[in-house]
Amino acid sequence: MTRYLLSLFLATTLLGCTSPATETGDSASEESTDSAANSGTESSDGVVNVYSARHYDVDDEVYESFTRETGIKVNIIEGDSAALLERLRREGEQSPADVFIAVDAGRLYQAEQEGIFDPVESEILSQRIPANLRHPDGLWFGLTKRARILVYAKDRVQPGEINSYEDLADPKWKGRVLIRSSSNIYNQSLMGSILAAHGEEAAEAWCRDLVANMARKPQGGDRDQVRAVAAGEGDVAVANSYYLAHMSSGSPEDQAAAAKVGVVFPNQDDRGTHVNISGAGVVKGAPNRDNAIRLLEHLTDETAQQLFAGGNKEYPAVAGYATVPELEAFGEFQEDTLNASVFGSNNQQALMIMDRCGWR
Ligand code: FE
């Protein structure tokens, strides 16, 4: 496998593109901006060119196993989603890109809106990947998923005291709720799912009451909310499952913080817990379209799923495959089966609600 990296610093500086979904305060976010060097791709029969916002060591193993199985060489261009999208725009029809991989549904939606994807029909993909985790027209497919969980202080909150996202708006939690900024895509997607569940008026009322319950002005990333619960700044926090999983096997300080909190998978009595995805689609005009589809199919086999998901302590998109021990320890849960494409289509409205209700 050949690895090509692009200079994101240069790209973002020269082109002035910004990333609204930067992982403020999260030290091991899945999007980095520190790559370097040049670029180049091939387009002959035996290759597939992947533009990926993921950069985990295990990814190489997955691509190498694909090459061993098929003889198709995988060329990777890594960068954050914004820089990769800018590059795709710039390259236009000349782009050698076959596959675009993004680390959340919001980014996939953005790429979809820009017309970057071409629909794919694949029996393997539609059989293996649950319908809610892939685009209804086959524009992209979820590969891994993460739950947006509630985390509570075990010494101050009883199990069963908080059970849903809606509970976060209960006056009982006044001054006790920790959640990051509304500029973060995970919260925008969560808001999009609340909007889908309750409609605009109720979603806005929820948002207003949530803001009234905040322990402090939103700051930091998801890990910082968990750390703040452990430090007693608030009693309940909202975070993606993988951040707590990373903390529970991380630095001694993070392990100590993680040990002080309990996990709630919200809304188990109704629509289920909000999940978001990382995923991939085949690029319009891909010079190696068949190879691209084969790669996506390969990414859904058991070993690839476990490696891909395990790399960031996420859940495999394909049901029934084992997860990492840290997630296993959280227990099982029912997920909200709202299609992940709705997070994107509700995004504008979600942003307006968050702005009106004062979620900064
Ligand atoms: Fe993240």
pLDDT 10s digits, 305-316: 999 999 999 999
Task: Give residue 243 CA to ligand 1 midpoint distance, Å.
Answer: 7
Task: Give residue 33 CA to ligand 1 midpoint distance, Å.
Answer: 14
Is the predicted pLDDT of residue 260 greater than 50, yes or no?
Answer: yes
d(CA 213, CA 275): 23
d(CA 135, CA 342): 9
The CATH 3.40.190.10 domain(s) of the chain lie at: 2-144+276-322, 146-273+348-356
Instruction: Quote the DSSP letter at residue 184.
Output: S
Task: Give residue 23 CA to ligand 1 midpoint distance, Å.
Answer: 6
d(CA 345, CA 194): 13
Task: Give residue 28 CA to ligand 1 midpoint distance, Å.
Answer: 8
Task: Give residue 245 CA to ligand 1 midpoint distance, Å.
Answer: 12
**What's the rounded mean pLDDT across residues 83-102?**
97
d(CA 15, CA 9): 10
* Contact between 292 and 282 (Cβ < 8 Å): yes
Beta-sheet strands, E only, within 154-192: 177-178
CA 95 to chain centre: 25
If DSSP codes are grouped into helix, strand and coil, which group holds residue 156?
A: coil
Q: What is the pLDDT of residues 105-157, one digit of tens each?
A: 999 999 999 999 999 999 999 999 999 999 999 999 999 999 999 999 999 99
Task: Give residue 136 CA to ligand 1 midpoint distance, Å.
Answer: 24
Which neighbouring-strand residues pair with 73?
Answer: 47
Total H helices, total E strands in the chain? 15, 11
What burial letters (b/e) apply to 101-116, b meaning 16+ CB within 10 Å?
Answer: bbbbbbbbbbbbeeeb
What burial letters (b/e) apply to 38-64, b meaning 16+ CB within 10 Å?
Answer: eeebeeeeebbbbbbbbbeebbebbbe
Task: Give residue 141 CA to ligand 1 midpoint distance, Å.
Answer: 18
d(CA 260, CA 226): 9
Q: In the prediction, which pLDDT does 3 show?
A: 45
Is the predicted pLDDT of residue 303 greater than 60, yes or no?
Answer: yes
* CATH number of the structural domain 2-144+276-322: 3.40.190.10
Task: Give residue 106 CA to ligand 1 midpoint distance, Å.
Answer: 12
Tokens of 30: 């899945």
Q: What percent of the chain has pLDDT over 90?
A: 86
Which neighbouring-strand residues pair with 236?
Answer: 152, 177
Task: Give residue 56 CA to ligand 1 midpoint distance, Å.
Answer: 13
Q: What is the pLDDT of residues 3-37, one digit of tens each?
A: 444 433 333 333 333 333 333 333 334 443 333 33
Instruction: Quote the DSSP letter at residue 335.
Output: B
Task: Give residue 182 CA to ligand 1 midpoint distance, Å.
Answer: 14
Task: Give residue 209 CA to ligand 1 midpoint distance, Å.
Answer: 26
Task: Give residue 164 CA to ligand 1 midpoint distance, Å.
Answer: 21
d(CA 143, CA 183): 24
Task: Give residue 276 CA to ligand 1 midpoint distance, Å.
Answer: 10
Q: In the prediction, which pLDDT does 55 show?
A: 86
If DSSP codes are grouped into helix, strand and coil, which group holds residue 181?
A: coil
Instruction: Quote the DSSP letter at residue 334.
Output: P
d(CA 192, CA 184): 12
CB-based contacts of 335, cutoff 8 Å, min separation 6: 132, 145, 147, 272, 273, 274, 275
Task: Give residue 72 CA to ligand 1 midpoint distance, Å.
Answer: 30
Q: How many residues does the chain have?
A: 360
Tokens of 313: 């302590």
Task: Give residue 277 CA to ligand 1 midpoint distance, Å.
Answer: 10
**What's the rounded mean pLDDT across residues 159-175?**
98
Q: What is the pLDDT of residues 198-217, one digit of tens each?
A: 999 999 999 999 999 999 99
Task: Give residue 29 CA to ligand 1 midpoint distance, Å.
Answer: 5
Task: Give residue 240 CA to ligand 1 midpoint distance, Å.
Answer: 7
Task: Give residue 229 CA to ligand 1 midpoint distance, Å.
Answer: 19
Task: Give residue 19 CA to ligand 1 midpoint distance, Å.
Answer: 13
Please give the mean pLDDT across all residues of the chain.
Answer: 90
Task: Give residue 285 CA to ligand 1 midpoint distance, Å.
Answer: 30
Phi, psi of 307 (to 5 degrees): -70, -50
**What's the rounded mean pLDDT across residues 216-231?**
98
Task: Give residue 287 CA to ligand 1 midpoint distance, Å.
Answer: 31
* Contact between 270 and 164 (Cβ < 8 Å): yes
Task: Give residue 6 CA to ligand 1 midpoint distance, Å.
Answer: 21
Q: In the prediction, which pLDDT does 111 show?
A: 96
Q: What is the pLDDT of residues 38-76, one digit of tens each?
A: 344 544 569 999 999 998 889 999 999 999 999 999 999
Q: What is the pTM of this model?
A: 0.87
Please return the burial class of 285, using the count of CB atoms within 10 Å of its CB with bins 0-12, 13-18 and 19+. Answer: middle
Q: In the prediction, which pLDDT does 41 show?
A: 54
Q: In the prediction, which pLDDT does 355 show?
A: 98
Is the predicted pLDDT of residue 285 greater than 90, yes or no?
Answer: yes
Top CATH class, 146-273+348-356: alpha beta
Instruction: Quote the DSSP letter at residue 172.
Output: G
CB-based contacts of 242, cutoff 8 Å, min separation 6: 146, 312, 313, 314, 327
Task: Give residue 13 CA to ligand 1 midpoint distance, Å.
Answer: 23
Q: CA angle, 25 as apex, 226 and 218 as ends, to 5°?
A: 65
Q: In the prediction, which pLDDT does 35 show?
A: 34
